[in-house]
Structure 1
Amino acid sequence: MTVTRLFSLPLLALAPLMLAACDDAATADGAASGEALPAIAAPAGTKWADTVTVTPEGGYMIGNPDAPIKLVEYASHTCGHCADFAKTGKPTLKDKYVASGVVSFEQREAFLNPFDVVIAGLAQCGAKEQFQPLSDQVWGNLESVFAGLQGNPQAVQAASALPLNQRFVAIGEATGLIEFFAARGLSADQARSCLADTAKIEALVKTVEANNDKDKIAGTPTFFLNGKKIEGTTWEVVEPALQRAGAR
């Protein structure tokens, strides 16, 4: 999917699109049963929860790159279930499981609508260590983010008709996204520079499409544990799966 094709999707039907594309939550299917794996110490002076690697798939992984248990989440920044997971699961995931060195957690993009492209471009604009914290800030403030996305429809529609090297910046300004990220450490000038880099945005969209096609991503969030899809979207499902694999 090209950027032009993606931005031909409706810009204003965000809430219905988000609800339709997010997976239904499943319930937990069992208690922990796997033998516990011993913790793996981080290199001296470092913490696994602060260790960030950009993977060949373009995901942002925190934790031990050689962790025996690898959790991958495909997520959309405008998905309510992804926001729920960020609030209910990620603190324990990072502070307990990733910190042990036994689990790594990789977040990959899934685009449900054109706004996801703009938000991802901003979240990936700064240092790699800031990507997941900025994503969590979006999910933690999703109601106010939605208000900005839907609050100025005429300006958004006008922005969507601009040339690509102006379009993303204009949408970022019309929706308040540039201001939102500026309040969280990404300068407005840096944000505009990243959103004006159409080659980078095009490459991002192509990478996301390739990943989504390969792993058959039909909704968000979608989780994979050591390459196998988890049938569920909530922390109540993911945590037992981690424990069955040996995480404690």
Structure 2
Amino acid sequence: MFFLKKFISYLILPPGIFIALFLFIAVLSRKRKIVYIPALAGALSLYLLSIEPFKDLLLYPLESPFKTPKVVRGDAIVVLGGGAYNSGYLKASSYKRLITGFLLHKKTGKPIILSGGAAIGVIPEAKVMKELLMEFGVEEKDIYADLESRDTFENAKYVLGICKRIGCRSLILVTSAFHMRRALSVFEKTGLEIQPYPTDFKFEGKYNLYSMFPKYSVFYDSSIAVREYIGLVFYSLYY
């Protein structure tokens, strides 16, 4: 009964319902290749992006080069924003990055640089993060905020400006593991010494029968990985 309940729930909830819909269209139009092939391809693509093994296949090249360092070194900790809602709450990736930065600050006493503007929203991420850090007990004098940056390139640009102002030559770079490859390549071009400190790992590596069921959370993580690959290509061409 438990298995049946799970199977039905995964089938009727997105993305399962859309996979079933694509398959239904494919069956009805199997004699019309112009419809059959795209419908079948849509079902297969959506299914693969929604299961854990394929999601890990996408994430592994992004996350595997980076491990949490046992010894940290740097004049300051920089935390890159990962998104905020217009209601004033941080999205999950931003919150995980912020908590990691906060724990590093408590451990090392290094100042924190927060980087993240309002790229497509109305509230700068760094403003929300700064308010949270102060609620956690971090003194305002230990927090520097870049409220202008809209992407990773601008993160590096504006953080470099803050570093020049406060005399910082090396950074502990905190961001999600899936984003570290792109972030590190951009920040290293500033001439600052950068130590990557990844967090928010999404690779799992262990599976069971339920890992083969399509899930929205897995589809979301796969989409993040695909977006990261697109970003890597774009940055390699233009920066």
TM over 0.5: no
* Higher relative contact order, structure no. (Cα contacts within 8 Å, ≥ 6 residues apart): 1
Shorter-chain TM-score bucket reads under 0.3
After TM superposition, the score normalised by the length of structure 1 is: 0.26
Between Structure 1 and Structure 2, which shows a larger proportion of helix residues? 2
Q: Choose 1 or 2 for highest CA Rg.
A: 2
